Amino acid sequence: MTQVFKFGGASIQDAAAIRRVGELLARFRARPLIVVVSAMGKTTNALETLLAAARAGETEEYRDRLETLRQEHLTTVEALFGDRAGPVTERVEALITELDQLHRRHASRERPFHYDQTVCYGELLSTTIISAWLDEAGMATEWLDARDLVVTDDCHQAANVDWQATVERVRGLATDDDKIRVTQGFIGGTTEGVSTTLGREGSDFSAAILAHCLDAEEVTIWKDVPGLFNADPRRFDNAVQLERISYDEAIELAWHGAKVIHPKTLGPLQQKSIPLTVRSFEDLEAPPSTIGRDTRFDTQTPSLVLLEEQTLLEIRSRDFAFMDEPRQHDILGRLVEAGLHASLIDAGAMRLSLCLDDGHPDRLEPLVSSLCADYAVVRHEDLTLLTVRHADDALLAALSAGRDSLAERRNADTAQRLFPSTQCQGTWHIPL
Ligand SMILES: Nc1ncnc2c1ncn2[C@@H]1O[C@H](COP(=O)(O)OP(=O)(O)O)[C@@H](O)[C@H]1O
Ligand SMILES: N[C@@H](CC(=O)OP(=O)(O)O)C(=O)O
């Protein structure tokens, strides 16, 4: 049965990292194997900035950024292939030329469309280099264009998968020889062949889509941490690894913002009972985390998620009317129309509070203006949302000590509190 491996940006950020991926594959490769790869390092961010310069008509800045992108990829090619770099250099140069030409073609199109035509080059470049490197290292590969495999609608930047069409395309893949199939995460294509993207950090989801369609045996995502922890180990000094948790528990953590797995990843795997292993590409001996059907360990350890850059809107009617269902319906309808997601919703008799991500001012500001036109709105900015799963009162009290909670929500297994970010800086310690 097929295995799917996914490598994110950090695992392939430069030539040394790509070499390490080659070594890792030589040691752990399964047969058949599909390898899903993100863009190198922070390339997607760089492409977003390139797009901004192109759309603003800042020609000089655009040229500089394109040249930096080109140089970074060519430097990696040079470091990997040395005097045998010729053919890969040519392919990289061809992709950069294509990227440059498309800006002229699409400059007047709407931004989400233009965005997808641009940022997909990050993954096209990385997979071109990696596939060639694995060939060089003696592992025969087949480079697959994910835009021909993952069929989506044309909802650019957050495309929805057409599962039936995708299953048909993916099932047609040959997997019965010794080749490693290398393809791009994050990107797909419409039936008309237009490039789309699945949402930032969506490569984990791509791996799950392919695994689902192929009834794969397992998905392994190789990360810069040994596995899934009960809190981000970079923010919590005593975070502990969760060696086994259920799909439902992992979905909750990802949905509440645990950055380690894209939230859409688990659903397609759960449906086919395909386990997801989170494993370190830095420490190959470290025991991984496995997400599967087993729910026995879910409640043993409280898990914590911190979401930064949050804004709270406290919304009241101007005529002292209750915040009843018709008003809630109106406000949440505007939220949906703005394409925003509330990380916390707290309703009272006279007030509806929404906690929203600050990262999309282009969507947030029009929503706030529209609400201010009809409601009394109080806005609090620069907040951090703490979500705790399976917390008891003592733990919540200890985590909240010395912090002012601006909004709260709690149900049987999840508690959320919103604090000023100034009170949440630095490393946290989970009180035991
Ligand atoms: N609960 C968690 N467990 C493990 N890592 C976490 C958790 N929450 C956040 N992270 C962060 O996720 C990072 C890995 O995810 P990410 O950077 O998205 O990987 P990639 O880009 O390679 O897919 C880690 O460096 C870690 O800081
Ligand atoms: N390159 C895309 C997709 C992705 O999933 O990347 P990563 O696996 O490095 O988070 C992004 O940066 O959004």
- Could you tell me the CATH number of the domain that includes residue 148? 3.40.1160.10
Q: Residue 306: count other Cβ atoms within 10 Å of its Cβ.
A: 20
Q: CA-to-CA distance for 211 and 291, rounded, in angstroms?
A: 14
Instruction: Say if residue 199 is in the same domain as residue 311.
Output: no
Q: Which atom of ligand 2 is nearest to the CA of 7?
A: 8
Instruction: Say if residue 199 is in the same domain as residue 55.
Output: yes
* Domain assignment of residue 340, yes or no: yes
Residue 10 Cα, ligand 2 centroid: separation in angstroms?
Answer: 9
Is ligand 1 within 6 A of the CB of residue 224? yes
Question: Which residue among 260, 266, 276, 305 has the greatest number of ligand 1 atoms within 8 angstroms of its CB, and so is best to mutate?
Answer: 260
Helix axes 111-136, 86-106, angle to 10 degrees: 170
pLDDT at position 176, please?
80
Q: Which atom of ligand 1 is nearest to the CA of 278?
A: 4
Which of these three, 187, 203, 223, is where a domain ends?
Answer: 223
pLDDT at position 395, please?
95
Q: Which atom of ligand 1 is nearest to the CA of 8?
A: 22
Q: What is the sign, positive or negative, of the torsion defined by CA atoms of 167, 168, 174, 180? A: negative
pLDDT at position 289, please?
97
Whats the size of the chain, residue-wise?
Answer: 432
Question: Which residue among 7, 11, 44 has the greatest number of ligand 2 atoms within 8 angstroms of its CB, and so is best to mutate?
Answer: 44
DSSP H helices in 6-58: 15-28, 43-55
Is ligand 1 within 6 A of the CB of residue 259? yes
What's the helix, strand, coil split of the chain in %, to 5? Answer: 40, 25, 35
Residue 351 Cα, ligand 2 centroid: separation in angstroms?
Answer: 38
Instruction: Say if residue 202 is in the same domain as residue 320.
Output: no
* Domain assignment of residue 228, yes or no: no
State the number of CA atoms in the 13 A half-sphere of 135 facing the CB.
16
User: What is the number of the ligand closest to the CA of 260?
Assistant: 1
* Domain assignment of residue 286, yes or no: no
Instruction: Say if residue 206 is in the same domain as residue 99.
Output: yes
Whether 182 contacts 144, CB under 8 Å: yes
Instruction: Say if residue 313 is in the same domain as residue 210.
Output: no
Each residue's pLDDT tens digit in the chain (432 positions)?
899 999 999 999 999 999 999 999 999 888 899 999 999 999 999 999 999 999 999 999 999 999 999 999 999 999 999 999 999 999 999 999 999 999 878 888 999 999 999 999 999 999 999 999 999 999 999 999 999 999 999 999 999 999 999 999 999 887 788 899 999 999 999 999 999 999 999 999 999 999 999 999 999 999 999 999 999 999 999 999 999 999 999 999 999 999 999 999 999 999 999 999 999 999 999 999 999 999 998 888 999 999 999 999 999 999 989 999 999 999 999 999 998 999 999 999 999 999 999 988 989 999 999 999 999 999 999 999 999 999 999 999 999 999 999 999 999 999 999 999 999 999 999 997
Is ligand 1 within 6 A of the CB of residue 239? no
Q: How many domains does the chain have?
A: 2
Residue 372 Cα, ligand 2 centroid: separation in angstroms?
Answer: 35
Instruction: Say if residue 218 is in the same domain as residue 342.
Output: no
Is ligand 1 within 6 A of the CB of residue 279? no
Whether 379 contacts 315, CB under 8 Å: no
In this structure, what DSSP letter does residue 179 have? P
**Residue partners of 269: CB distance under 8 A and separation at least 6:** 208, 211, 212, 219, 247, 275, 276, 291
Buried b / exposed e across 124-149, counting CB within 10 Å, b at 16+? Answer: bbbbbbbbbbbbebebebbbbbbbeb
User: Could you tell me the end-to-end alpha-carbon distance of the chain, in angstroms, rounded to an integer?
Assistant: 43
Is ligand 1 within 6 A of the CB of residue 188? no
Residue 10 Cα, ligand 1 centroid: separation in angstroms?
Answer: 10
Which of these three, 223, 241, 273, is where a domain ends?
Answer: 223
Q: Which of 76, 116, 112, 70 is nearest to 94 (CA)?
A: 70
pLDDT at position 63, please?
97
The CATH number linked to 315 is 3.30.2130.10
Q: Which atom of ligand 1 is nearest to the CA of 259?
A: 9
Instruction: Say if residue 311 is in the same domain as residue 212.
Output: no
pLDDT at position 114, please?
96
Helices (H) and strands (E) in the chain, counts: 13, 16
Q: Helix, strand or coil for residue 357?
A: strand
ipTM, 2 decimals?
Answer: 0.97
* Domain assignment of residue 268, yes or no: no
Q: Calculate the alpha carbon distances from 326 to 51, 81, 321 in Å.
A: 41, 64, 11
Instruction: Say if residue 100 is in the same domain as residue 192.
Output: yes
Whether 344 contacts 353, CB under 8 Å: yes
As given in the structure block, the two tokens for residue 198 are 């699945």
Got the DSSP string for 106-130?
HTTS-HHHHHHHHHHHHHHHHHHHH
Buried b / exposed e across 319-355, counting CB within 10 Å, b at 16+? Answer: eeeebeeebeeebeebbeebebebbbbbbeeebbbbb
User: What is the number of the ligand closest to the CA of 261?
Assistant: 1
* Domain assignment of residue 161, yes or no: yes
Q: Residue 274: count other Cβ atoms within 10 Å of its Cβ.
A: 23
Domain membership of residue 162 as a residue range: 3-223
Residue 290 Cα, ligand 1 centroid: separation in angstroms?
Answer: 15
Burial class (CB in 10 A: 0-12, 13-18, 19+), 262: buried
Q: What is the sign, positive or negative, of the torsion defined by CA atoms of 383, 342, 319, 349? A: negative
* Domain assignment of residue 280, yes or no: no
Instruction: Say if residue 209 is in the same domain as residue 323.
Output: no
User: What is the number of the ligand closest to the CA of 257?
Assistant: 1
Instruction: Say if residue 87 is in the same domain as residue 202.
Output: yes
Closest residue by Cα to atom 8, ligand 1, is: 232
Residue 56, phi then psi, degrees to nearest 5: -85, 0
Which of these three, 190, 223, 256, is where a domain ends?
Answer: 223
Residue 185 Cα, ligand 2 centroid: separation in angstroms?
Answer: 8
Residue 234 Cα, ligand 1 centroid: separation in angstroms?
Answer: 9
Is ligand 1 within 6 A of the CB of residue 116? no
User: What is the number of the ligand closest to the CA of 43?
Assistant: 2
Element (H, E) at 380: strand 375-389
Q: What is the pTM of this model?
A: 0.95
Instruction: Say if residue 217 is in the same domain as residue 308.
Output: no
Q: Which long-range contacts (CB under 8 A, 24 or more apart) does 156-160 make?
A: 156/110, 156/112, 156/113, 156/115, 156/116, 156/196, 156/197, 157/112, 157/115, 157/116, 157/197, 157/199, 158/197, 158/198, 158/199, 159/116, 159/188, 159/190, 159/196, 159/197, 159/198
* Domain assignment of residue 297, yes or no: no
Element (H, E) at 141: strand 141-144
User: Using a 6 Å CB cutoff, which residues line ligand 2?
Assistant: 8-9, 38-39, 44, 122, 185-186, 200-203
